Amino acid sequence: MSTSRDLPAGHVHLSRRQVLLSGAAMVAGGLVSAALPRWAFADSSLHFIPFMQVSRLLVNHELDDAVGARMLALLQVDDPQLGQKLSQLLAIARSQQATVVEAFFPAIPAGPVQALAYRIIFGWYTGSLTATRSAKSVAFEQALTWRTTQDILTIPSYGISGPNQWQRANVPVLPVPQF
């Protein structure tokens, strides 16, 4: 099955086949929440590949396509200029020949495009797009905040060890585990 990982990060222009493939991947993988309206899926799928490309440039970790699809659907509802801003972010990254966020983030001008970049990062780390109790959740286990501490802390409600087996030495803050 094709996924967004099949495409290079700098690839911006989508062929009809690629658009169809991205939509097929989401449908086959059951990636789109049943709670989302049909139009949201149809429209979001158009931006799925660039969205995941931007996401992987902004957040240099393993990212889950299903989480991305849910986040994209919410972003699309809020922002009619989303596709244009994604293209701008990809263009900035390409201009800097960037493969990691540190290499191009300073080149993103303050304003709506930078705000989108921060919002996408926020979404991947927290699993929601705002710090409010009514925010839609797009991820729990996959929210990256838990990955930063995965060598010592369980994701609450999941187990990390067996009965009474959690005594351990304090681990240092650095290095951050790979994820």
Partner 1 sequence: MAESSLSPVVIVGTGVVGVVIAEQLLDAGIPVLMLEAGPRVSRAEIVENYRNLPLAAKGNPIECYPSRPWAPHPEPAGAGKGYLQLSGTDSYAQSYVRYAGGSTWHWAGTCWRLTPADMQLHSRYGVGRDWAFDYATLEPYYTRAEYQLGVCGPDDQALQWPPQRSKPYPMPALPFGPGEARFTEVVREKLGLNNIPTAQARNSGTSYDDRPACCGNNNCVPVCPIGAKYDGATALSRLEARGAVIRDNAVVWRIETNAQNRIEAVHYYDPQRQSHRVSGTLFIIACNGLETPKLLLMSADGRNPDGIANRSGQVGRNMMDHPQITMTVTLEEPYWAGVGPVVNSGIMETSQGDFRAEHAGAYFRFNNFARNRFVTFDALQKGLVGKALDEEIRRMTACTADIVLAHEILPDANNRLTLSDKKDGLGLPKPAIHYDVGDYVRRSLEVYSLPIANRIADAMGATHRVFSKQFNQSKHIMGGTIMGLDPANSVVDAECRTHDHPNLFLPGGGAMASTACGNSTLTMVALAFKAADAIVKQAQEA
Under the rule (CB under 8 A), what is the footprint of partner 1?
58, 60, 100-102, 105, 118, 121-122, 125-128, 130-137, 140-141, 143, 145-146, 148-149, 152-154, 156-174, 176
Angle 1-24-122 (CA atoms, 0-180°, nearest 5)?
Answer: 90
Please report how close the Cβ of residue 85 comes to partner 1 at its closest, in angstroms: 17
Helices (H) and strands (E) in the chain, counts: 6, 0
Please report how close the Cβ of residue 95 comes to partner 1 at its closest, in angstroms: 18
Give residue for tokens 């931006």: 47
- The amino acid occupying position 17 is R
Please report how close the Cβ of residue 75 comes to partner 1 at its closest, in angstroms: 15
Please report how close the Cβ of residue 115 comes to partner 1 at its closest, in angstroms: 11
- Which ranges of 96-162 does DSSP label H, i.e. alpha helix? 112-126, 144-147
- Do the beta carbons of residue 123 and residue 142 sit within 8 Å? no
Select 45 or 88, whichever has its Cβ closest to partner 1.
Answer: 88
Select 15 or 170, whichever has its Cβ closest to partner 1.
Answer: 170
Largest CA distance in the chain: 55
5: DSSP letter: G
Please report how close the Cβ of residue 113 comes to partner 1 at its closest, in angstroms: 14
Select 48 or 146, whichever has its Cβ closest to partner 1.
Answer: 146
Select 24 or 152, whichever has its Cβ closest to partner 1.
Answer: 152
- The amino acid occupying position 152 is I
112: DSSP letter: H
Select 19 or 135, whichever has its Cβ closest to partner 1.
Answer: 135
Residue 107 CA to residue 114 CA, distance in Å, equals 9
